[in-house]
Amino acid sequence: MEVKNDFDLKRILDNFKNIKIGVVGDLMLDDYIYGTVERISPEAPVPVVNVKEEKFVLGGAANVVNNLASLGAKTICFGVIGNDANGERLLGAFADKKIDVSGLIRDKERTTIVKRRIIGSNQQLLRIDWEDITPISTFLEYALLRNIESKIDELDAVILSDYDKGVLTPMVAKEIVRMCRDRGKIVTVDPKPKNAMNYYGATSMTPNRKEAKECLGMERATNMEEVGKELKEKLKLDNLLLTRSEEGMSLFIEDKVVNIPTFAKEVYDVTGAGDTVISVFTLAAASGVSWHEAAKIANTAAGVVVGKMGTSTVTKDEILEFYKRIYERWE
């Protein structure tokens, strides 16, 4: 089913509310501290930030969940978080958005991941991370897989959001791909390059240029078309969506490469843009559009979200308005 005009696109976007997607991966909180800088500390040559505001937002795989929820999709998140105050804060953020957390496991041995960014006068000055990146235990692996297996039949697609923080172990990743393949479910991956082979046989993957080259150990490669073709073939993917920054995106499907130029309103902050791409790409495909159209809709969403500060989401109205504007001009 191809999206022919903005009326059809509106119908597709409206159908998002009928789609249910599972997100598995490294759930985290992004903590933004905003302030002004007017002097240098007398204690050390560092700026003094006079704090004006602190904001917690969903990050990592939780930002994928947030993107899906903002587009009206039904979402179940699966992962392991700490039995700590930040875990409570993360659950509170999910509750505010009415997100199903029945797939989550809390473990007193783990720390809920938090990335704190100190921003003074619109300039990021420092980032502080609290995290535990050790692989989850065998016990937690099986508990997580049981959670997924109990829910998978009600899902239209599964997104694996791998930040290499210990949740998507080789066994977990491979077993989820197998489960999805056996049931004919779409399974898409936002990979960490060193874990790429864990996702052999997935439906699709959405690496950026650097990640794609690292997946193949070809860091010096310059021909991205060859890189994309080789990665798709090596991992036996149905398709591959390669994000190419200012050069747009390339969709590798069957024996074709479809290049989609970039259209950004204004590049202000790329934080979380990859989460937006895989969220919208997967959701659109699960809604029944072709992978080509799904890539175009994802490209539209990315063009909107990079114009926002911090880890951000995109709305259906923003996609509809921007899609109409850019693709009428392109086509």
Question: Rounded to whole angstroms, what are the CA distances from 186 to 228, 237, 238?
Answer: 20, 11, 10
State residue 261's pLDDT score: 86
State residue 245's pLDDT score: 80
pLDDT > 90 fraction of the chain, expressed in percent and rounded: 78
pLDDT > 70 fraction of the chain, expressed in percent and rounded: 92
Express each pLDDT in 248-282 by its tens digit: 899 999 999 999 987 655 544 445 578 889 999 99
Question: Considering the chain, what is the average pLDDT of its residues?
Answer: 91
CA atoms in the 13 A half-sphere facing the CB of 6: 14
Handedness of CA 131, 137, 142, 143 (dihedral sign): negative
Express each pLDDT in 2-36 by its tens digit: 444 444 888 999 999 999 999 999 999 999 999 99
More confident call, 100 vs 301: 100
Active site residue 275: yes
Question: Rounded to whole angstroms, what are the CA distances from 140 to 26, 160, 167?
Answer: 14, 17, 9
Express each pLDDT in 173-189 by its tens digit: 999 999 999 999 999 99
State residue 175's pLDDT score: 98
Kindly give the residue spans of alpha helices, DSSP state H, lying in the chain.
6-15, 61-70, 85-96, 138-151, 170-183, 209-215, 224-235, 273-286, 291-305, 316-330
CATH number of this structure's domain 6-36+50-330: 3.40.1190.20
More confident call, 312 vs 260: 260
State residue 259's pLDDT score: 94
Average pLDDT in the 67-86 region?
96
Span of 134-148, 253-267, 305-319 with lowest mean pLDDT: 305-319
CA distance 257 to 241: 10
Average pLDDT in the 97-108 region?
96
Average pLDDT in the 71-89 region?
97
CA distance 327 to 37: 42
Check pLDDT > 60 for residue 98: yes
Check pLDDT > 60 for residue 330: no
Check pLDDT > 70 for residue 131: yes
Span of 60-64, 177-181, 226-230, 308-312 with lowest mean pLDDT: 308-312
Distance from the first to the final alpha carbon of the chain: 18
Q: Which of 107, 162, 190, 275 is catalytic?
A: 275
Check pLDDT > 70 for residue 329: no
